[in-house]
Amino acid sequence: MTEPLGPELTSIRSPRVKAARQLSKRALRLRARSFLAEGPQAVAEALACDGVVSQVYVTAAAHGRFGRLIDQATQQGAAVQAVSGDVMAELAQTITPQGVLAVCRFVDVPLARVAVAASRLVVILANVRDPGNAGTVLRTADAAGADGVIFSDASVDPYNSKCVRATAGSIFHLPVVVGTPVAATVAALREAGMRVLAADGRAGQSLDEAGPRGLLSGPTAWLFGNEAWGLPADVLALADEAVAVPIYGQAESLNLAAAAAVCLYASARAQRGQ
Amino acid sequence: MTEPLGPELTSIRSPRVKAARQLSKRALRLRARSFLAEGPQAVAEALACDGVVSQVYVTAAAHGRFGRLIDQATQQGAAVQAVSGDVMAELAQTITPQGVLAVCRFVDVPLARVAVAASRLVVILANVRDPGNAGTVLRTADAAGADGVIFSDASVDPYNSKCVRATAGSIFHLPVVVGTPVAATVAALREAGMRVLAADGRAGQSLDEAGPRGLLSGPTAWLFGNEAWGLPADVLALADEAVAVPIYGQAESLNLAAAAAVCLYASARAQRGQ
């Protein structure tokens, strides 16, 4: 039996709505150490991490459909607030909001949690700026069984709503590290026993060569650079080796998320002895 | 020596500007059988296909930077028109236009050009709706050395400006087929000797199993479905086999473009005996 909700919040000017709305801005997310997860899938994944969800906003229509989700939130001690469709439209970043969103506490962990001997596959993003690309890489890393994703240097904020949406819930699945400098990150991961491979379209060796050389089968940290200009020379120099995704056709390069998918699955396959 | 340009068009109300601007709408693209390619990279790739470019619009600043491109367009008989920054902003779909764009004749080919015995790797998109996703798959197919990409059924228009941009020039590199029904497409490709594999996250076998079974090494057509709901049962039934990208972590699924990258590179690798 789903609990009845309290009175519906109908004003977009109410302080609670304004506070939640402000989480669309990075500086205010940092201050509140909170971010928004939109839609039933993201809210369900957030609730699967105990203690992450602090508030839930839900429309009457969505309460009917996602009552179990709301009950779960209540049981975890989250504040559940009924809102009108107008308030939901104000809070949500999507064009067609699905009627439920959660205010979540930051989930990132210190680098030391990922830079451990047990880590077999880690991703370092260096100056990746597009939230959709970054979120897709995080989702792909999750699918490939990675042990963590590091948003280093001036990479996009993983809590950006577009990025959260592109992760399709994966931001709640694996350790995420934010803002560590790339040099320190590489050093820590190498110290923990990982080989650091830079994905670079201009590298002298391709994945097809790296595989047979056994480069992919050990613990690996993949370093991916900016979608337009790749990895600068000083960052490339930090890696143990650079590896290119082979281009068999006429394309000049691959999109970052596609290249990451090929590299991460090549590693996952090699590590599993395929 | 770069040719001087004629007088600059400064009115966004001029009939030529209006006509070019209308190519942002699918119905009007179809009527003109023309589309827009924006930015120096796309224009250069279009010019590499003789006879594709019919008009080029360029700002004075871009003419200074991309003079050789403009000369090449003139030599190919394209009409080159100098425009003001305001007119360029009106024509371009990007927020920061790079000062040059081309009106290109449609480049799609009949299905019979791709459904040939020489084709080794072909992509069929069925109801793929997001232009960025579709364009990224086309770019990845090009990188993986594919022999063609088919935008079947209700898939997005490949000439949509967002899709063209996501292809990063690949729309000019490999045969593209538009609008053929998926059943007829599958039949024609199978007739030409290809095994049709449906990418389906719920399939009973994964790429890791399909590879050792030799499923990937022959001529293959990959069938990819809608980003949200995948392939419906009736379309799945058309394929010879369904194959899943293995999920080693907790992600429920992969983004379409990432899944396509993993599948196409698995095929390319298997076909090359890696």
ipTM for this prediction: 0.94
Answer for the pair B198, B236: CB distance below 8 angstroms, yes or no: yes
A60 touches B at CB < 8 Å: no
B146 contacts on A by Cβ (under 8 Å): 249
Task: Please answer yes or no on whether B208 and A146 come within 8 Å at the CB atom.
Answer: no
How crowded is residue A36: how many other Cβ atoms within 10 Å of its Cβ? 23
State the amino acid at position B212 in one-letter form.
P
The Cβ of residue B72 has, within 10 Å, a number of other Cβ atoms equal to 17
- Total-model pTM: 0.95
Residue B210's H or E segment, with its range, is helix B207-210
Q: For Cα atoms B5, B8, B9, give the angle at the middle one, nearest 5 degrees.
A: 135
Which residue carries 């990025």 as its tokens? A163
Contact B199, B173 (CB under 8 A): no
Rounded to the nearest 10°, the torsion over CA A200, A201, A203, A206 is 100
Return phi, psi of residue A178, to 5°.
-125, 130
State CA B183 to chain mean position distance: 21
Nearest CB partner across the interface for B251, out of A139, A245, A253 = A139
A9 touches chain B (CB under 8 A): no
Name the amino acid, one letter, at B246.
P
CA dist list (Å): B154 to B38, B183, B186, B188, B240: 25, 13, 15, 19, 22
CA A157/CA A216 separation, integer angstroms:
29
- pLDDT profile of chain B (274 residues), mean per 10: 77 90 94 95 94 95 92 94 93 84 97 98 97 97 98 94 95 97 98 98 95 94 94 97 97 96 97 85
3-state secondary structure B127-165: CCCCHHHHHHHHHHHHHCCCCEEEEECCCCCCCCHHHHH
How confident is the model over A74-128, as pLDDT tens digits?
Answer: 999 999 999 999 999 999 887 777 899 999 999 999 999 999 999 999 999 999 9
- The token pair at A46 is 């957030």
User: SS3 for B263?
Assistant: helix
- Per-residue pLDDT tens over the stretch B140-159: 999 999 999 999 988 999 99
CA distance B86 to B83: 8
A234, exposed or middle or buried, with CB in 10 Å at 0-12, 13-18, 19+?
Answer: exposed
What's the CA gap between B99 and A161, in Å, rounded?
Answer: 31
Chain A positions in Cβ-Cβ contact with residue B255 (cut-off 8 Å)? 136, 139-140, 166, 168, 257
Q: Which of A76, A92, A7 is nearest to A42 (CA)?
A: A92
* pLDDT tens-digit readout, B160-172: 999 999 999 999 9
Residues of chain A with confidence (pLDDT) below 50: none
- Tell if the CB–CB gap between B272 and A140 is shorter than 8 Å: no
Cα–Cα distance list, A106 to A17, A114, A152 (Å): 19, 17, 16
B257 touches chain A (CB under 8 A): yes
- Asked if B173 and A250 come within 8 Å (Cβ–Cβ), the reply is yes
User: Contact at 8 Å (CB) between B224 and B253?
Assistant: no
Mean pLDDT score of chain A, rounded to an integer?
Answer: 94
C-alpha span between A6 and A83 (Å, rounded): 10
pLDDT at site B93: 80
pLDDT score recorded for residue A2:
61
Q: Record the tokens describing residue B108, joined without a space.
A: 């799609």
User: Domains in chain A, ordered, with CATH?
Assistant: 15-105 (3.30.1330.30), 111-271 (3.40.1280.10)
Residue B2: what pLDDT?
61
pLDDT at position A274: 67
| Euclidean distance between CA atoms A81 and A90, whole angstroms | 14
Closest Cα to residue A45, out of A178, A139, A140?
Answer: A139
